[in-house]
Structures are given as structure tokens and as C-alpha cells.
Structure 1
Amino acid sequence: MTNIRAFFRNTLILVALFIPSVFLSPNFCKFNIKVKQTLKNEGFHRNITYGIIFNTENDERWLYDGCLVGLTQKLPAGVFANPDELSDLRRNKKLNAALKNPVNVELPTEVSTPNNVYITGKVVDGRVNLWLPVHARYHQAVAGGGSARNEIGPPRLFLACPDKRLDLCNLNDTPIVFLCNGSSREKCKWKQLSYTMLTDTLIWDVPVGNTDHYYVVAIGTAFVIIIGSLYLLKAIHDCKVSLKKKSS
């Protein structure tokens, strides 16, 4: 009888040790996430698009069903997201994105600093498609002109679920608490996840003015202003003459 009791006791101890090691193993949560980041449109006003795919088996969809994906995108000093534009998009429920810090859209690149944007979206059928409108800042003109290069790196990716399922994944980090989206003050616990980036770092070359053309541009501008002013004065004079003739 003693041997049987000892056997069952040892078996229970082994089971107690084995089950957590299985369910709390990082391999238990097989997140296989792929991200494609692209820069759309031309000129000084563009969109960054994000295609996020969860390549998990059907029996592992419970890992992300009903969850939110959050991206933290760092923008270089030469690129910014307009806070008023983001506010309008949130109000019209077209995009959940918010700036981490205030941004002055009028400053040139040389006196600006990098800024971070939070973007959130819901996982639907194992996919999330997000986007962010961005704008290039003007650069101070330099001798010879040319272009200035802005490099936009990959974002940090987070996942937040309405329950505690991610606690089983043993991701070995402390949850990060910040807003669930840009439209409310509700906060969520986010877990940062690693992923495979399918695209290279985004490159955005912005034209820079040429100081060698300063006098040519200044003279040309002054000439246009003078011609425009003379044309306007003539139009005002002709209008007054026409009114006098009608009144007489």
C-alpha cells in the first residue's frame, strides 16, 4: 500500500511539473506573423500601408481571434503625421491612429525631431490591413540642391486580447499598457510579438532647394509680383471707368 501511495504521489508531481512546461512553453503559442510595409503615392503626401498576416493553423486561430493589433511606427524628423488629419479620420471611423507627442507641422526638418504614431486594428480572418497618412517636411536649401533621404524603419507589433489567453504564451515580458485605440481613453494590456518583415526599409527621397539659384529665383519672383500688381491696378482702373460711364 505504501508503494502504491508513493507511486501516485510521484505521478501527480510529474504531471504538475509537466503540464505547465507544455502549456507555458513559448512553442505552445506558435505565432507566425508576416508583415508587408509599403509606401504609396507620390510627392510630399503619401500613405504607409501595412499588410499583417497570421500564418497559424486552423486549430490555433484562438490565439488571435477577436484580438487587436497595435503598431508603433517611428517616423524620422523629415516625415510627420498630421494630428488634425488623424483626428478627422478617427471621428469618421476610418482609422484608429494617434500621435505619442504633439507635432508642429510647420517646422522644417532641421529643427524637428522624430515622432511615434500608434495605429490599431482588429484581426479579421487572420489578417489586418492598416495604413497611415504621412507628409514630408521641407528641408533648408543647400548649395547644389539635390534630395534628402528619409528612412522609415519597420514598426513594433503588439497584440491585445479581451481575455487572458496571452498569459498562457509565456512571452517572457511585462505587458505594456496604453490606449486600446485613438478614439477612447480605455487602456489595454499589449504583448509585443516578433514577426517576419517581407519588405525592406522604406526610402523616401525629398527634393531640396538649390541656393545657387537664389538670385535667379529672387529676380524672377520680383518680376512676377510687379507684372501681377500692374495688371491688377489696370483691371481696377478699367472697372472704375466702366462704372462711371454707366452712371452717366
Structure 2
Amino acid sequence: MATCSEIILRQEFLKDGFHRDLLIKVKFGESIEDLQTCRLLIKHDIPTGLFVDPYELASLRERNITEAVMVSESFNIEAPNYLSNESAVLIYARQDAQCIDCFQAFLPVHYRYHRPHKKDGDTLIVVNNPDLLMYCDQEFPILKCWAQSEVAAPCALKSEEICQWKNMQYKSED
């Protein structure tokens, strides 16, 4: 029986200020030769303190920089954090050219305005770990190892077809 090596997911914020880029890297602990037949989808819940601009996403998709799409329908990018709702984004991760068993995804995020407070200091915004969903054209031991449940989601960015993605367990790394 194959031993299960872990999947590691790392989230990293690039840039400073109100406009940041969230880089998500996923590394499989063992190299799977046929990983090309698999697709990785990251479902991220964006907290009220941040927002993703759907128009910016559309522009980045056109320029082939990212394959991300908003799930939330009613969405106000102008609203301050105390008047906004959490939103969700689907990001189709791409295979990393430098690493055979790695995927990465890119998402521009922006800080919302917060209520002023008396003390000087920073406002802490907690970005939770995303759901890591995997769909493969064939069965792999790693799918049996780490799949917790199944989630229905579009098979690809511009697809009407719905696939049953496996919700994968992973280890989060800072």
C-alpha cells in the first residue's frame, strides 16, 4: 500500500498597503508523474476586511494572469468592512513551471476601510485557510489518502459542466 505523503499549502501576501497580491502555493509531498491529468481548484472565503475586485479579475483573466472568478453575486467594492459581507472566490490553480509536483494561484486583494479607533495601530484581518479541491481524470493513491468529501463546482473556468471535486486535507505552512 502506498504511504500518504502530505500536501502542503502556503499563503503569502506580496506588496504593502491597501493593494496586495495573495500567492497560494501547493506542494505535493511525492512526485506524481501523471499530475498533469489533475486540476486544482482553491475556494477562498474572503473576510469582510478585504475585497476582491471582480472587474480587476476579469481583466486579469483576459490577460491570462489568473483564472479566478467571484462566487458571491451581490457585492459592493465601495462598502467599508462593517457594512460588507464575506465573499467567496474560486481560483483554478496552475502547475508551477519550476516544480513538477507544485501548483500555484494568484489573487489580488484589497483592504476595505475600517471604522476609526482611538488607539493607533494596525487592524488585524484573519485570512482563513481555503478549501483545496482536486479533480483528476484517473484515480491516484493521494486522492484516497487525503480526500475528505466531494464538492460540486465547474470543471474549468469557462465551463458549464460541473465536476465532483475532492476536498483535500492539507498541512498549512506560514
> Structures share a fold, TM > 0.5?
yes
Alignment match, 1:114? 86
Work out which of the residue numbers 71, 83, 86 in structure 1 matches 2:54.
Answer: 83
Q: Supply the RMSD in Å over aligned alpha carbons.
A: 2.3
8 Å Cα contact 1:66/1:123 also seen in 2: no
Task: Please report how far the alpha carbon of residue 104 of structure 1 lies from its aligned counterpart in structure 2 after TM superposition.
Answer: 0.7
Distance change (3 Å), C-alpha of 1:135 and 1:61: same
Report whether the alignment pairs 1:183 with 2:158: yes
Alignment match, 2:21? 47
Task: Please report how far the alpha carbon of residue 139 of structure 1 lies from its aligned counterpart in structure 2 after TM superposition.
Answer: 1.3
8 Å Cα contact 2:149/2:167 also seen in 1: no
Alignment match, 1:7? none
Distance change (3 Å), C-alpha of 1:174 and 1:142: closer
Query: Aligned AA for 2:114?
Result: H
- What SS does structure 1 have at the residue aligned with 2:126? strand
Work out which of the residue numbers 124, 128, 133 in structure 2 matches 1:149.
Answer: 124
Separation in 1 of the partners of 2:9 and 2:146? 20
Q: Which stretch of structure 1 is more off in the superposition, 119-128 or 73-82?
A: 119-128
C-alpha offsets along residues 149-189 of structure 1, whole Å, 9 cap, x if unaligned? 2111211111112x242598376755311113333323222
Separation in 1 of the partners of 2:111 and 2:46? 10
Query: Aligned AA for 1:47?
Result: D
8 Å Cα contact 1:97/1:118 also seen in 2: yes
* Match runs of 1:212-223 below 5 Å: none
Separation in 1 of the partners of 2:59 and 2:112? 21
Separation in 2 of the partners of 1:172 and 1:155? 15
Work out which of the residue numbers 19, 29, 32 in structure 1 matches 2:6.
Answer: 32
Task: Please report how far the alpha carbon of residue 34 of structure 1 lies from its aligned counterpart in structure 2 after TM superposition.
Answer: 1.1
Query: Aligned AA for 2:21?
Result: N
- What SS does structure 2 have at the residue aligned with 1:150? coil
8 Å Cα contact 1:159/1:190 also seen in 2: yes
5+ residue gaps, structure 2, are none
Q: Which has the higher contact order (CA 8 A, sep 6+)?
A: 2
Distance change (3 Å), C-alpha of 1:30 and 1:44: same
Distance change (3 Å), C-alpha of 1:176 and 1:166: farther
Task: Please report how far the alpha carbon of residue 79 of structure 1 lies from its aligned counterpart in structure 2 after TM superposition.
Answer: 0.3
Task: Please report how far the alpha carbon of residue 76 of structure 1 lies from its aligned counterpart in structure 2 after TM superposition.
Answer: 0.9
8 Å Cα contact 1:120/1:180 also seen in 2: no
Q: Which has the higher helix share?
A: 1
TM-score (norm 1): 0.61
Task: Please report how far the alpha carbon of residue 31 of structure 1 lies from its aligned counterpart in structure 2 after TM superposition.
Answer: 4.9
Distance change (3 Å), C-alpha of 1:171 and 1:149: closer
* Match runs of 1:1-248 below 5 Å: 28=2, 30-57=4-31, 60-62=32-34, 64-102=35-73, 103-124=75-96, 125-144=100-119, 146-161=121-136, 163-165=137-139, 169=144, 174-199=149-174
5+ residue gaps, structure 1, are 1-26, 200-248
- What SS does structure 2 have at the residue aligned with 1:190? strand
Separation in 2 of the partners of 1:134 and 1:68? 23
C-alpha offsets along residues 34-60 of structure 1, whole Å, 9 cap, x if unaligned? 111111101100011111111214xx4
- How many percent identity over aligned positions? 25
Separation in 2 of the partners of 1:169 and 1:147? 43
8 Å Cα contact 1:51/1:130 also seen in 2: yes
Distance change (3 Å), C-alpha of 1:184 and 1:90: farther
Query: Aligned AA for 1:139?
Result: H
